[in-house]
Every structure is written in structure tokens, then in C-alpha cells.
A and B are shown apart, each in its own frame.
Chain A
Amino acid sequence: SAVISQKPSRDICQRGTSLTIQCQVDSQVTMMFWYRQQPGQSLTLIATANQGSEATYESGFVIDKFPISRPNLTFSTLTVSNMSPEDSSIYLCSVRGDRVSTGELFFGEGSRLTVL
């Protein structure tokens, strides 16, 4: 299993500001995933972060709004830019387990953002 640390765990932000979420993994991983879980909704994949290349964004998510960095194999950041109340959500960092073929995912504890 992987141990994933995320920070901040929660924050209250003002409209129009940006916030960067950090994700640290206790082992080297090729891909890191960023998910969003809005209230009462399922987990939605925002993007996949690969070390040394641009992140791959899912439909409906763009780099200008959610820039991602992946400077090494154990760390990634997700920035939520120019926030609006609609961005209030839990943001989760995730990595695959060792059993690659299973699609098993391990998640950080999440960052709960409230935008006023």
C-alpha cells in the first residue's frame, strides 16, 4: 500500500483567489491522479500527472483552471485558480497500488475547499 499525505486538509477561500494543494507519496510512482468529489457526487478524475511531462486533463477540465506540477516521482501539486463557489469540493490525490492490473487506487485524506 501507499501512504499519501495531502495538505491543506481544509481551507476556506475567497472568490477569485487561487489555492495550491500538495500531495506527497511515500514511494516513487509513475502516475499520480487528481480527483474531485463535490457534495453528494462521485469521484471525478481531473487529470493524470506524469513526472517529466504535461498532465493529461479529462474532458471538462483545463490547465488554466487546474494547473498541475509533477517535479519528481513522489510529489505533485494541484492549483485551483480563480476560484468560485462552484469549486467548493473535496480534492483527492491518488496513486495506483502495486497490483497494477487491478486498477486499485490509494487515496490521500483529501483537501476540503470552501469558496465564499
Chain B
Amino acid sequence: QKEVEQNSGPLSVPEGAIASLNCTYSDRGSQSFFWYRQYSGKSPELIMFIYSNGDKEDGRFTAQLNKASQYVSLLIRDSQPSDSATYLCAVVKGGYQKVTFGTGTKLQVIP
């Protein structure tokens, strides 16, 4: 079982719709959760992080965490073609704080 699992996609959504990206993790001791965006040929950049169960909103982005289900998601409202990228879920355990990445979900926003 992979430590961090994501559907590779591609996930295609029409412009203006809500894109929902999902991630599960295996280690119940995980404490911090991150979403990185990676445009083709570019490096990943952090867009959201969440520590506590529930929702965290930042502009058009909402991160959702359910530790009981070991599940974290990212919602992108009013999706734009510029949101087309690969979204990487990342998890940090306590102590050493090694960051473990999922394989990413490719999102395509269709104009």
C-alpha cells in the first residue's frame, strides 16, 4: 500500500465548475497535509496546507481533512483553464517531518 494515494487522472472539468481532487494516506500518525500544484515542466508550488479536521478555505481553494477516514481533498471552485496542472498531495509525519508525496492528479479545465 502506498503511503499517499491519488487518482492519476486526468480529471476533466468544464470552465466554471468545481474540481474535486482526492487523496488518501496510510499512516494514522500523519499530522500535516499539503496540496502542491505543478504545471507541466515546472516545479511544484504549495497552494494549501491543513492540520485540523474540517475545511480550510483560501480564495477559490478549499482543503478538507478527515483524519478518521485518512482522507484529504482539494476543491477548486470556478475552475479556470489556468488551473490545468498536476496536483500533488503531500503528507508530513511528526518528528523528522519528512514530506511524502502522492503521484499527483492531472486536472484539465476545458474552456
Contact = CB atoms under 8 A, between A and B. Distances in A.
B43 A103 contact: no
B34 A43 contact: no
B103 A104 contact: no
B49 A107 contact: no
Interface residues of A, number: 17
B43 A41 contact: no
Tell which of A43, A101, A104, A108 has the most Cβ of chain B within 10 Å: A43
Given A41-B103, A42-B103, A45-B98, A104 B43 contact: no
B99 A105 contact: yes
B99 A103 contact: yes
Given A103-B34, A104-B34, A110 B103 contact: no
Interface residues of B, number: 21
A102 interface: yes
A107 B100 CA distance: 15
Interface in A12-56: 40-45
A78 interface: no
B92 A103 contact: yes
Contacts of A107: 43-45
28 contacts: A40-B8, A40-B103, A41-B103, A42-B4, A42-B88, A42-B102, A42-B103, A42-B104, A43-B44, A43-B88, A44-B101, A45-B98, A45-B99, A45-B100, A92-B43, A101-B32, A102-B32, A102-B34, A103-B49, A103-B97, A103-B99, A104-B34, A105-B44, A105-B46, A107-B44, A108-B43, A109-B42, A110-B43
